[in-house]
Amino acid sequence: MPRSLLVLSALSLALAAALVACAPSGGPKPGAAAAPAPLAAADVASEKAKISYVVGRDFARSVEPIRAELDTELVLRAVRDAQAGRPSLFDDSETKRIRDGFSAHLRDKHDEEVKALAARNLAAGEAFLAKNAKAEGVKTTASGLQYQALREGKGARPQASDTVRVNYVGTLIDGRKFESTYDTDHPAEFVLAQVMPGWTEGVQLMAPGAKYRFWMPPKLAYGERGLAGQIEPNSVLAFEVELLEVAGQGAPTHDE
């Protein structure tokens, strides 16, 4: 999964963007000095040395997602030039042009990576659902929702306007868990019409006490946008859901 664009500090982004624009292509130049030996703990014994080291490590982490775009030696030289009070090679207008152009480049690169990932996930999800539809006990609705009854319940099924109480585990199709009420101190409670379409449709098939397994295609889940940091675009989601109670119309008694 490609990294999202890191929200860099204004200082880090300004420095990285400006410097990469003037970075020469190619590897080390003939006659360049060898890299210094790695630091040892004894080299950073004073408080000034320690905070200097921490600041350097923090800066390195902040630009890690764009490291391939940077000439590290030029970054270090620019820092030293700035500390020595030497004027910038670019005036404010040119610096802004370079920075804005680099930001646009990063956005375009990220968008292309997301599109490619979404296309791969869509193809993988369609293949999974086609195979899963043939599994014993699995049914597919007109919307494309797939479900399997693990245990039936009794009583009236909920309507979309009802508040329900459920326990559930959510996983990706590779089995990785991303959410579970069993990891909290209470079940989930919500108005059925206010959640993702796959949930709204699927839980209405259940009676209280039932336990179903659902597989939701992207259009019934988080779609091509996904959920930043948790769900990739065009992901098929699997949920094992136990309907504990239909509480009737109205707002939940507490938020999740």
Q: For 105-133, how does the pLDDT look when each residue is reduced to its tens digit (9 = 90+)? A: 999 999 999 999 999 999 999 999 999 99
The model's confidence at residue 1, banded by pLDDT at 50, 70 and 90, is very low
Count of all residues that appear for the chain in the document = 256
CA torsion through residues 111, 113, 114, 115, sign: positive
Average pLDDT score over the chain: 86
0.85 cut: is pTM over it? Answer: no
Contact 133, 56 (CB under 8 A): no
Q: Look at 29-33, 96-100, 145-149, 241-245 and tell me which has the smallest mean pLDDT.
A: 29-33
Q: What share of the chain is helix, strand, coil (3-state, %, to 5)?
A: 40, 20, 40
Q: Does the pLDDT at position 87 exceed 50?
A: yes
Q: What φ, ψ does residue 195 adopt, rounded to 5°?
A: -115, -175
Report pLDDT for 37: 83
CA-to-CA distance for 187 and 185, rounded, in angstroms? 7
Domain range summary for the chain, segments of one domain joined by +: 133-247
pLDDT digits (tens, 9 = 90+) for 193-205: 999 999 999 999 9
pLDDT digits (tens, 9 = 90+) for 198-250: 999 999 999 999 999 999 999 999 999 999 889 999 999 999 999 999 987 55
CA torsion through residues 215, 218, 219, 221, sign: positive
Report pLDDT for 41: 85
Q: Does the pLDDT at position 3 exceed 50?
A: no
Report pLDDT for 249: 56
Residues 6+ apart with CB under 8 A from 29: none
Q: Does the pLDDT at position 251 exceed 80?
A: no
Report pLDDT for 137: 97
Report the amino acid identity of residue 246: V
Report pLDDT for 35: 66
Report pLDDT for 33: 53
Q: Does the pLDDT at position 14 exceed 70?
A: no
CATH 3.10.50.40 is the classification of domain 133-247: yes
Instruction: Find the largest Cα–Cα distance for the chain.
Output: 82
